Structure 1
Amino acid sequence: MRSAAATARTGADDGLSPTGAAAPPDDPEADIAEARIKARMLARRQALLNGPILPTMLKLAIPTVVVLVVQTLVGVAETYFVSFLGTDALAGVALVFPVLMLMQMMSNGGIGGGVASAVARALGAGHKDEADALVLNALVLAVVFGVVFSAAEFLGGSALYRALGGQGATLAASLAYADTVFAGAALVWIVSLLAAALRGAGNTVVPAAVIFIGLFVLLPLSPILIFGWGPFPRLGVAGAGVAVVAYYLVGALVLIGYLRSGRGTLRLPLDVRRIEWRLLADILRVGGLSAVGTIQANLTVILVTGIVGLFGTNAIAGYGIASRLDYILIPLLFSLGTAALTMVGTNFGAGQVARAERIAWIGAFFAAGITELIGVTAAIFPRAWLSLFSTEPTVLATGELYLHTVAPFYGIFGFGMLLYFAG
């Protein structure tokens, strides 16, 4: 007696659906659409396996670069809107920012890197069904990690922000913003991991489009909810949090809808039987170690900031505006890195190990060249960056010292980050 799986595989030959009912008549338009999807999948896979390395990498990276740059600008704009609520509100949001960045970096580059890697290797090996199942397992992990972050913030947020210096109105602003944002933590994880799955399949356009369009919804919604307008009440600093949650809710629904439609390389199967410890472990085997690295990096930033603060307000201000240039490199390196990850994973899955290694080295040297150029320019002309934020001589002197010391080594940072993603 045949199993259900065998029936499902041979239903087309029997003229029956997997349930045993008569199969629907052929739909020529559906067949044409399916053929086009398969042709796109094949063309994308061939480009990853046989195309010119650097042009293919840049083609994958550019949509993500554009989106992350816009995302950074929107974050600056949100801070600008909050500043009108006063220093306490601005300081309160600033205390939450490192924790929010930790979650975003873990979901995008940490666990998200594990998702992209697993999907790329599955597709490179020609295992389309396994790649689809990985999308479902990624969704499960997104919900789990989102709940963990929400619970951690609700239980320990007050103590953390108080330890970082939050008191009185500043602490109240921190909690108002954080409680709102982290209530939707699962949505952040869902968007990040589903987008990572698509990038692992070589599709950078759809996640880029979802994020790009959503940001232009977030940009006007944030001030409307902060200050109130028409039917919208004035929510203050919590309004900024509500706008962020609304943005991720829309993004999650759009990505789930796209992956359920079957119009792309990947499809999201809503079948609990496809949730497997093996697939979860495949994601976490790569993503778990990456997440540990992300935690370490964020803790290092917090500790160094605290140490610099011992030298006074001007020192920490100079260090802060100078080191902000370091973060400008992250969108560029993340975009190039995820492109390299997709190409390396696909080639590794297809058994083309030598080409995978060549991709890693080409990406690393290209990233080193770009970041070193930025670093040398900043070291020679530090005030071109610093004067955008301050004219205080002591602040500028500290910032110049930082850039003279650190910026010449940006190339090493870029080189290491690309090899990290490729690995």
Structure 2
Amino acid sequence: MNPKNKLAEMPVRPLLYTMAVPLMLSLLIQSLYNIVDSIFVARLSETALTAASLVYAIQFLMIAIGVGTAVGLNALLSRKLGQKKPEEACRAATTGLFLMLGTSLVFTLVGLLFSNRIAAALTNDPELRQLCREYLSVNLVFCWGIFLQTYGQRLLQAVGDTVLSMVSLIIGAVVNIILDPIMIFGLLGCPAMGIRGAAIATVIGQLIGAAAALWFNRVKNPVIHVRLKGYRFLWQDVADIYRVGLPTIVMQAIGSVMTFAVNGILLGVSSTAVAFFGIYYKLQNFLMMPVNGLGQAAIPVVGFNYGSGQSDRVKQAWKVLLPTGVVFALCGTAVFLLFPAQLLGLFSASDEMLAFGVPALRIISVTFLFAVLTILCGYFASGLGNGVVNMIGAALRQLVVLVPCLWLLIRTMGIEKAWFAFWVSEVIACAYSLWATKKELRNKGK
């Protein structure tokens, strides 16, 4: 069964699951090497871990732009293939490559010119600032891998090949995990480079993963190819990519703005609170990776069948997507409720961190069900060509409601009760996302 027929004819539930499982595994591995970075960095010092938490906001901004552009491209390619327009899909893929290369160049220049200023904006502490600068000067300048890897993976996903997409990410992640201890602590003759070594290991893994993803597309992608000969740039392709991609970029970037804002609030409490939030955020991202894999698998399924006019299959995807997500949410909640101390212990948590971190993880874990529903609704609406639902849902749960509530609760009730801000933001975001996505489904289903 070729990729086109698989998206059109395979029963929706097995189609969604067979596409989602490789994506889930690849995203889990991607999140795992972020966690491994933090585990090794935590062994340097809690100060180094705090620095890694601070720069993660900038790193997440790059991920936001790369993933957002790729999601928009993926949705466009799926619709073009569903409409039986492979030549237009190839043209759009070529345009997407130029967009990724241009974005990489911008971040490289930012890293060369502004690493010191960004580090100074993150913290006033001289030691923290120096560690942030060391990481950013590598991570920004050599960012090409993260953008090209994301691009190559989404071309494979658009034709239903999530296995090779997974393999390319695994290759990069394994390289990163192997190099981390070698470069951070100076093993096998390599000089000890501390937090700079963690950044170098990360970019090397990303570049190797990108090379693998692009190679797989060249030799294994049966439909979509980058074609420079006869290529004609169309602004309409850019508009179509960013109609879905821009809201997704904003949605992803909201996470970066949120971490920056929350870190600023928590620095007024203690640097340990900042380190804890960095740990929580990476653990939460790890939990949400299977959910994101499920949602990303839904985009080509929904987009293809919407483009080919098969509204019944679109509705079937909706009925499969949310109940599956609920199962993941409940499992994640159980882990955080039962094993919070063990999770924090992975990062060499101090007694101070454990004292407020254990109850904090338990409080936040209750909101995972609402967060999962919000995320999956956003992906489903993106498959229908509407990225705004995703953007607004993310803004409500991560920024517009969360940050002011957290600030208010810290000032009035202390850090111990501040985490109830997650309850307020997640419930509001979930209510909006369910309403908006059902409305979009009714309208597009006609």
Instruction: Please report the TM-score for the alignment, with normalisation by the length of structure 1.
Output: 0.80
Which stretch shows the higher mean deviation, 351-360 or 138-147? 351-360
Q: Counterpart of 2:316?
A: 358
Cα pair distance change 1:180/1:212, threshold 3 Å: same
* Cα separation, 1, equivalents of 2:272 and 2:102: 42
Which stretch shows the higher mean deviation, 63-72 or 133-142? 63-72
Offset, 1:75: 2.5
Q: Counterpart of 1:51?
A: 10
Cα pair distance change 1:121/1:386, threshold 3 Å: same
Are the aligned partners of 2:175 and 2:204 in contact in 1 as well (CA < 8 Å)? no
* Cα separation, 2, equivalents of 1:140 and 1:368: 38
Q: Counterpart of 1:65?
A: 24
Cα pair distance change 1:398/1:83, threshold 3 Å: closer
Q: Counterpart of 1:28?
A: none
* Cα separation, 1, equivalents of 2:131 and 2:277: 25
Q: Which runs of 5+ in 1 are unaligned?
A: 1-39
Offset, 1:209: 0.7
Q: Counterpart of 1:348?
A: 306
Are the aligned partners of 2:82 and 2:308 in contact in 1 as well (CA < 8 Å)? yes
Which stretch shows the higher mean deviation, 368-377 or 170-179? 368-377
Q: Counterpart of 1:148?
A: 106
Are the aligned partners of 1:319 and 1:402 in contact in 2 as well (CA < 8 Å)? no
* Cα separation, 2, equivalents of 1:158 and 1:145: 21
DSSP 3-state at the match of 1:268: coil
Are 1:107 and 2:66 an aligned pair?
Answer: yes
Question: Could you tell me which of 108, 123, 137 is aligned with 1:179?
Answer: 137
Cα pair distance change 1:263/1:149, threshold 3 Å: closer
* Cα separation, 2, equivalents of 1:287 and 1:180: 27
Are the aligned partners of 2:31 and 2:282 in contact in 1 as well (CA < 8 Å)? no
Q: Counterpart of 2:35?
A: 76
Larger Rg belongs to: 1
Question: Could you tell me which of 336, 345, 348 is aligned with 2:294?
Answer: 336
* Cα separation, 2, equivalents of 1:177 and 1:261: 35
Give the partner amino acid of 2:103: F
Which stretch shows the higher mean deviation, 236-245 or 333-342? 236-245
Which stretch shows the higher mean deviation, 376-385 or 99-108? 376-385
Question: Could you tell me which of 238, 251, 260 is aligned with 1:280?
Answer: 238
* Cα separation, 1, equivalents of 2:283 and 2:29: 16
Question: Could you tell me which of 197, 205, 212 is aligned with 2:163?
Answer: 205
Cα pair distance change 1:349/1:156, threshold 3 Å: same
Give the partner amino acid of 1:271: K
Question: Could you tell me which of 227, 245, 249 is aligned with 2:203?
Answer: 245
* Cα separation, 2, equivalents of 1:162 and 1:78: 23
* Cα separation, 1, equivalents of 2:230 and 2:134: 36
Question: Could you tell me which of 281, 285, 290 is aligned with 2:248?
Answer: 290
Are the aligned partners of 1:318 and 1:398 in contact in 2 as well (CA < 8 Å)? no
Offset, 1:311: 3.7
Cα pair distance change 1:259/1:394, threshold 3 Å: closer
Cα pair distance change 1:413/1:230, threshold 3 Å: closer
Offset, 1:347: 0.5
Deviations 1:279-332 (A, max 9, x none): 122111110111111122321233233324434456556555555542223211
Are the aligned partners of 1:364 and 1:416 in contact in 2 as well (CA < 8 Å)? no
Which stretch shows the higher mean deviation, 141-150 or 316-325? 316-325
Cα pair distance change 1:287/1:68, threshold 3 Å: same
* Cα separation, 1, equivalents of 2:149 and 2:192: 28
Percent identity among equivalent residues? 25
Offset, 1:348: 0.9
Offset, 1:260: 3.0
Q: Counterpart of 2:376?
A: 418
Offset, 1:204: 0.7
Are 1:402 and 2:357 an aligned pair?
Answer: no
Deviations 1:253-288 (A, max 9, x none): 333333333653322223362432221221111101
Cα pair distance change 1:222/1:166, threshold 3 Å: farther
DSSP 3-state at the match of 1:273: coil
Which stretch shows the higher mean deviation, 73-82 or 52-61? 73-82
Are the aligned partners of 1:138 and 1:194 in contact in 2 as well (CA < 8 Å)? no
Give the partner amino acid of 1:191: Q
Q: Counterpart of 2:408?
A: none
Cα pair distance change 1:366/1:262, threshold 3 Å: closer
Q: Counterpart of 1:6?
A: none
* Cα separation, 2, equivalents of 1:339 and 1:289: 18
DSSP 3-state at the match of 1:184: coil
Are 1:95 and 2:50 an aligned pair?
Answer: no
Give the partner amino acid of 2:75: S
Offset, 1:59: 0.9
Q: Counterpart of 1:32?
A: none
Deviations 1:82-130 (A, max 9, x none): 455555554444332221122123312x222111111111111111112
Which stretch shows the higher mean deviation, 222-231 or 69-78? 222-231
Cα pair distance change 1:45/1:102, threshold 3 Å: same
